[in-house]
Amino acid sequence: MKKKILLSLATLAVSVTTLPLFAAFEAHVINVTARIENALYVHPQSLGYGTVFPQEHLDSSFFLSFSESFSATSQTRVGKVNYAIKQKPKPREDKVASLGGVEKARDWCHTHIPDPIYSGVATSTEAWSTFYTNCYPSLCPFLSKHPDKLPATGPNANNDHGLPAFHNPELEVASGTIVKFNNPASPLVTTGNDPADTWTIDLAVPCFKGYCAQDWASFVHGLNPTANPDNFMVPPELEHQTFGCDLWVEVTKIY
């Protein structure tokens, strides 16, 4: 019995010591490549309203669809894109470099705004002063997003969700879906699809606190019945300033 045990241990020792010698004698390389493309095309790249006045209500719009790569007939693997339209304070162009570049400047303005909806308070604080040095006064709460409501019928009806003016841009976003084909099993059948969306962007111009018209509350509630008009009066020291907002169309799902 003792001999058998010793023999087994000796055999095990040989197996353990020789295993690394055989493991390195063969290798296989799997070549992994992928061509990464954007899923969306958005036009135009900027919207401008020029000089505006309190309680004006002005319309503009932008269009989005699939990118050229996503639209290609040979691309049949995925057929739908979900997206969100988010808003972030806009950095001043002459401060972008000192803040570390475009992306870091946008992040700085987004994380350092003392109050995303003003709440009718004065901006005479160090935090606000620093913010306005680097970023434009925010136009974001006053921009609505209205979908085109197309298609009106079929499986893709009402798949976009808008947002009225006078809202908190940190808490509320608009969203949508565009559809190249409905059935992955038949990607060349495009009946009832939704290949593009046109969004109307309304600017509801705010008034300056202490100088608002008597019908200010009616103006606000006519566009957003749930908004508190007192929260959307901008400080009077911002008169003559250029306001700004970056709209971000972010893809949330591709399937």
Whole-model pTM? Answer: 0.84
Mean pLDDT, the chain, integer: 88
Residue 24: per-residue pLDDT: 55
pLDDT range class, residue 115, cuts 50, 70, 90: very high
Condensed to tens digits (0 to 9), the pLDDT of residues 146-192 reads: 999 999 999 999 999 999 999 999 999 999 999 999 888 888 888 88
Cis peptide before 141 (omega within 30 of 0): no
Across 12-16, 22-26, 208-212, the highest mean pLDDT is recorded for: 208-212
Q: Which residues pair with 250 in a beta bridge?
A: 84
What crossing angle do the helices spanning 102-112 and 126-134 adopt, rounded to 10°? 150
| Mean pLDDT confidence for 196-215 | 96
**Res 225 pLDDT > 70:** yes
Residues 6+ apart with CB under 8 A from 21: none
pLDDT range class, residue 23, cuts 50, 70, 90: low
Q: Is 154 helix (H, G, I), strand (E, B) or coil?
A: coil
Q: Does residue 241 come out as left (phi exceeding 0), alpha (psi in the -120 to 50 range) or beta? A: beta
Give residue limits of the domains in the chain. 51-254
Nearest-angstrom CA–CA distance, 175 and 231? 24
pLDDT range class, residue 214, cuts 50, 70, 90: very high
Residues 6+ apart with CB under 8 A from 108: 91, 99, 100, 134, 135
Rounded (5°) CA angle 195-196-199: 160
Residue 164: per-residue pLDDT: 98
What number of other Cβ atoms are within 10 A of residue 203's Cβ? 20
3-state helix, strand and coil shares in percent for the chain, rounded to the nearest 5: 25, 25, 50
**Res 15 pLDDT > 70:** no
